[in-house]
Structure 1
Amino acid sequence: MKQRDGKVDAARWAPVRRVFLLGLACLGTSPAWAQSIEQGLLQLQWGDPPPAVPGQPRQAPQLVAYLQQDDGSRRELDVAQAHRAAGDLYALANRRVAISFASSTRVMSSAPAIEVIVPADRLTQGAPAVGADGRVMAAAPVTGTTRWVTLMCRFGDITEEQKALSFFQSQYGEAVGQLGHYWKEVSYDKINLAGSTAHGWFALPQPRSHYVTKVDGKDKADLKKLFADCGAAADPSVDFNGVQGINLMFNGELDGFAWGGSSCATLEGRNFCTRVTWNPPWSFNNLAPLAHEMGHGYGLPHSDNSDGDDDTYDNPWDVMSDSWSNAVRDATYGSRPKHINIFQRHRLSWVDSARRLVIPYGNTATRQVDLDFAHLAGSGSTQMLVLSLSPQPDPYATVVYTVEARKPEGAYEGALAGTAVIIHKVENSGTAYSIDADVPPATRSNNEGSMFKVGERWVTPDGSHAIHVDAATATGFRLTVGPSVPPRVMSSPLPPLLKPSPVPAPSLPSAAGAAAPVAPAAVPVRQELCGDARGMARGRVRCSVR
């Protein structure tokens, strides 16, 4: 182990430690230098508020994590520690893991710190869950039939039943605008909701105040208790065998959030762990937020944009971010869900390898790529272009930029902001951030800066990759992809958009008779035209090509 200033180089030691701990977990032993290694099911639960009231800030999202242990007990995990310990925490959602907790003598708090989280179910997967360095390589694939059931439950002190049973049953239909149709389309027919249905209304044994209490002056819903009691009320009449997800619908407000993720309850006489969503009326009245919560059930995290604020709901290109803006409206089911960004589709193994093209770090070749619209199910061309910034064999090990084409077309994408190439930054296989070249970035990325169109060129921050949108095609766009010439060195996290020079102001000499534009590959980029030093440091630069 190398040390720096007397401290162990944790970054170098972590991969070795992960492999070692994984082996120990499989053998059922633990090293002397760790307090304990515990195994169980990793449960993540995301809380999402309703749309903000005009003039008022929207509530921040919530994320809680638990280790559901084999004896039925549950241990809450520090989310920040879990993120650091797991690498890609989201890839482990709903999976069996082994967690190493540090000895309490090594930390200031009496609670043991999380050191490492590794998958303990790798032998049951069709492909290795970890690489040679112990890093989580991918989420478990989600394919085939994923049967959901809806349980409608009313609080003991609230009698209103907002929707009839037939409404919830029809939500799972295969017609356009229904969940069965939506999930087949967005997954490229990799999953279906066959056999999904709804039951209820069931009476909860307690009033709302029993399930929603005050914690630090704020409402807090006991999700585990809500699942347990709603499930128990339904258990005598509902067959849960083969169910892979449960949508819980409540006839009153919860704690200001709808929730999605996974949980456990006693059903069918056993400890039943599955995907679960918890929905108040404002959520189940619209398919968009309901699909958002089901996405969390499948293990998908939030997406975001690149404005740097704390609001994750400002990327209208993805239902896992802003599910409300640029949404197609349905007379029966409210806001329809738009699609999911291409990286999150890839996370669940929905993008075939023939539709992915990875441009490796250090690439020196220039090529043309036909990039088809992401919503086309029968595409024979590239739909996911990946620009790797890592020399490691796994292109997703550090930072990648994913490139996809989108178009306002169809039952779910019809209200998108425009037809364009959309770029997302993904770090350590985590959140996908849509790139915005406006200065400063827009607070919601349905702006021109987030849409890369014909004639525009974009360069990664380190200068290793450049793309130029050459032309529109019948099914997407034709791009030129290659190394940046000349190389650019930028330390900012957000890359510039290189656009043609703006039209001269009226007071300047006429541009008539100007020379024809230079081909993109020959256009020089002058660094000094990219803004002031402060803008460069923040990456908020918009360069002119001259």
Structure 2
Amino acid sequence: MRAVLACGLAWALTTSAAQAQIVEGQLQLQWGDPRGGVGQAKRPGKFLVTLVTDEGKRQALDPAQARIAAGDLYALANRRVAIEFGADPRSAARRKVEAIVPADDLGQDYDPAVPLKTGPVAKAIAGPTRWVTVACKFSDIDTEQKTVEFFRGQYGALPGQLGHYWPEVSYGKVSLTGSDAYGWFTLPQPRSFYITGEGDGKANLDKLFEDCAAAADPTVDFAVVQGINMMFNGDLDGFAWGGGACGPLEGVANRCIRNTWNPPWAFNNLAPLAHEMGHGYGLPHSDNSDGDDDPYDNPWDVMSDGWRNAVANATYGSLPKHINIYQRDRLGWVDAARKRTVTAGGPRITVILDTASRAVSLNTQMVVFTIPQEPGVLYTLEARKRAGSYEANLAGDAVIIHRVVNDGMAHSVDATVPPANVSNNEGSMFKVGETWVSPYNAYWVTVESETITGFVVSLGPQPRFMSGPAPMRRSTGGTTSASQPTVLSTPANRRPSQVNECVTERSDLFAQWRCNKRLQ
């Protein structure tokens, strides 16, 4: 593979259509989130995908192409990758993203007995992830909205602080030990230099990162941190931003690091700040199932709607809710003993499902199942209850079902027809005595009873009701027939990878990728 990548820095691969090129560098993902608040109209979010080469050159990538080319694009956030470009039929001057593979773990072994994934596997986020807050003010704005002591307190280990939240939501896998705050540092330019254009303008994230880091460099040792929360004393472009940034840092010409860009409305509340830090960890948005392009209407997840059903804190504003169980699992936070995978066609089973927020549990906290007629789709079950420092204001106590397509966003399932605009409705909460019938009638999921720590759930083929009334049936509208249900927010449907058929020599991962594409 290294030989292929080395040759790929020149024009190395030839396809039947046109000569291709492989370029290696860092994959920079950045999410822009508009100002929120309960009842406030939201602008669409933004998502930027950029390849940053070792020379510091930036090439913007088409997000839709990148999602398809990577398989699981989010698993590659802030990582070194190799990208194969081909000719784009829409433009002679533009190159199409054909394939993206990780270039930071080339020593991995491939087992012919294991089905080959079409995409990468997310790397676990574990251990100390030290963040520093760097507060920077524009040269023409003197206001310092919060003190450095306030920012330092956000990293505290008490309930309602980030040093408590991230260890809790990761089941102790992640800590913020050593995190600290510094500032205020004055930027060399006024706000108008960094935010250009009409209206809210466009924020130059690269220049903001470079100048804010440079201003703090004499004070902050960036070599020992894994993430930076940058706080600015003026609005940016109407958005808070999170993900990764690449630029000069501690004598390295092009170091890439987790980074957030926060205007005052974001750092005044812990929920939006945690949301942006989640993007820094490579977490995408979550969504509901109403099919629109607004990913901020799932109040069960801070990576969607951090404002509704949030706990209010006198010091730190709206507190973050937890993250859906699927994304926790992708980052390696769900132990195998807490997870149960159910196979279609098997007998009905009964599961004691503890709430996903419990740090210590001897029972299942995540159920995963797939439907043969829906390749590339999986479903998860998790229990949520109104309790604790972050979940006390949830819409209710219930089992929540999420649907995930092609390793993308998790969509909360809603039995209401049509689905509600915001998934804090009854149709999104499955309670005792209610049954959800999956597409193709493959699973009947029944909430049998409630326990102190969660719920008892049965699932599998349609049960036989020998006596007494059947449980209340709640199907997702129109998906219990044999017709294919609507797929939400997916770039493409993929067939499952085939065993052996696409396994080639380790020296050419792109050949494996092309073979998988032919099977789709």
- Common fold by TM > 0.5: yes
Distance 2:375 2:157 in 1: 38
Corresponding residue of 1:441: 419
2:225 and 2:336 mapped to 1: Cα distance?
29
CA RMSD of aligned residues (A): 2.9
**Matched-pair contact (CA < 8 Å) for 1:245–1:276:** yes
**1:369 is aligned to 2:351:** yes
Matching of residue 94 in structure 1 with residue 74 in structure 2: no
Q: 1:473 is matched by which residue type in structure 2?
A: T
Match of 1:306 among 266, 280, 289: 289
Aligned equivalent of 2:24: 39
Structure 2 equivalent of residue 159 of structure 1 = 142
- Quote the Cα distance in structure 2 between the aligned partners of 1:248 and 1:365: 52
Question: After TM superposition, which residue ranges in structure 1, 4 or more long, deviate above 6 angstroms?
Answer: 124-128, 529-534, 536-540
Which of 195, 201, 209 is the equivalent residue of 2:184?
201
The separation in 2 between residues aligned to 1:257 and 1:530, in whole angstroms, is 35
Counterpart secondary structure, 2:210: helix
- Per-residue CA deviations over 1:118-170 (Å, capped at 9, x if unaligned) read 11122477999xx7535224211100000000000000000000001100011
Q: Which of 156, 159, 176 is matched with 1:173 structurally? A: 156
Residue 346 of structure 1 is matched in structure 2 by 329
| Contact map agreement 1:119 1:136 (CA 8 A) in 2 | no
Q: 2:286·2:409 contact (CA, 8 Å) conserved in 1? A: yes
For the residues of structure 2 that align with 1:533 and 1:193, how far apart are their CA atoms?
45
2:221 aligns with one of 239, 250, 256? 239
Q: Structure 2 residue aligned with 1:186, among 169, 172, 187?
A: 169
Q: Give the 3 Å change call, closer, same or farther, for CA 153–53 of structure 1 in structure 2.
A: same
> Hey, what does 1:265 align to over in structure 2?
247
Structure 1 unaligned spans of 5+: 1-20, 487-499, 501-514, 541-546
Kindly provide the CA deviation profile for residues 217-260 of structure 1, in whole angstroms up to 9, marking residues without a partner as x.
Answer: 65100000000000000001111122100000000000000000
Structure 2: distance between partners of 1:191 and 1:434: 25
Question: 1:521-540, aligned counterparts within 5 Å?
Answer: none
**Corresponding residue for residue 450 of structure 1:** 428
State how far apart, in whole Å, the 1-side matches of 2:150 and 2:255 are. 26
Provide closer, same or farther for how the CA distance between residues 354 and 101 of structure 1 changes in structure 2, counting only shifts above 3 A.
same
Q: Distance in 1 between matches of 2:237 and 2:446?
A: 47
Percent of pairs identical after alignment? 56
CA contact (8 A) 2:435 2:474 kept: no
Contact 1:457 1:466 in 2 (8 A): yes
Structure 2 CA distance for aligned equivalents of residues 65 and 357 of structure 1 = 34
Gaps of 5+ in 2: 488-520
TM-score, length basis structure 2: 0.86
One-letter code aligned to 1:25 = L
Matched, 1:252 2:203: no
One-letter amino acid of the structure 1 residue matched with residue 192 of structure 2: S
What is the CA–CA distance in structure 1 between the aligned matches of 2:227 and 2:414, rounded to whole Å? Answer: 35
Structure 2 vs 1, CA of residues 136 and 538 (structure 1 numbering), >3 Å: closer, same or farther? closer
CA distance in 1, matches of 2:377, 2:484: 19
Larger radius of gyration: 1
More relative contact order in 1 or in 2 (CA 8 Å, sep 6+)? 2
CA gap of 1:208–1:122, structure 2 versus 1, over 3 A, is same
Give the conservation status (yes or no) of the 8 Å contact 1:314–1:445: yes
Q: Which residue of 2 aligns with 1:474?
A: 452
1:25 is aligned to 2:12 = no
Give the equivalent residue in structure 2 for 1:400.
378
Instruction: Give the AA of the match of 1:242.
Output: V
CA distance in 2, matches of 1:203, 1:307: 44
Once the two structures are overlaid, the 10-residue window that deviates more, 305-314 or 254-263, is: 305-314
User: Aligned pair 1:57/2:34, yes or no?
Assistant: no
C-alpha spacing 1:485/1:31, structure 2 compared with 1 (3 Å): farther
Contact kept, 8 Å, 1:464 with 1:483, in 2: the verdict is: yes
Query: 2:442 aligned with 1:464, yes or no?
Result: yes
Q: Could you say which residue in structure 2 is the equivalent of 1:78?
A: 62
Matches within 5 A, 1:281-292: 281-292=264-275
Q: How many angstroms apart in 2 are the aligned matches of 1:209 and 1:333?
A: 29
TM-score w.r.t. the length of structure 1 is 0.82
Counterpart AA for 2:189? Q
Q: Tell me, what secondary structure is at the counterpart of 2:441?
A: coil
2:473 aligned with 1:518: no
The whole-number CA distance in structure 1 between the counterparts of 2:359 and 2:342 is 23
Number of aligned positions between the proteins? 478
1:532 & 1:368 partners in 2: Cα distance?
Answer: 24
Candidates 201, 211, 233, aligned match of 1:219: 201
Q: Could you tell me which amino acid in structure 1 is paired with residue 408 of structure 2? A: G
Q: Does the CA contact (< 8 Å) of 2:439 and 2:485 recur in 1?
A: no
Please give the secondary structure, in 1, of the residue aligned with 2:211: helix
3-state SS, counterpart of residue 294 of structure 1: helix
Partners of 1:148 and 1:397 lie apart in 2 by 39
* C-alpha separation in 2, matches of 1:126 and 1:372: 36
1:282-336 CA distance string (max 9 Å, x none): 0000000000000000000000000111111000000000000000000000000
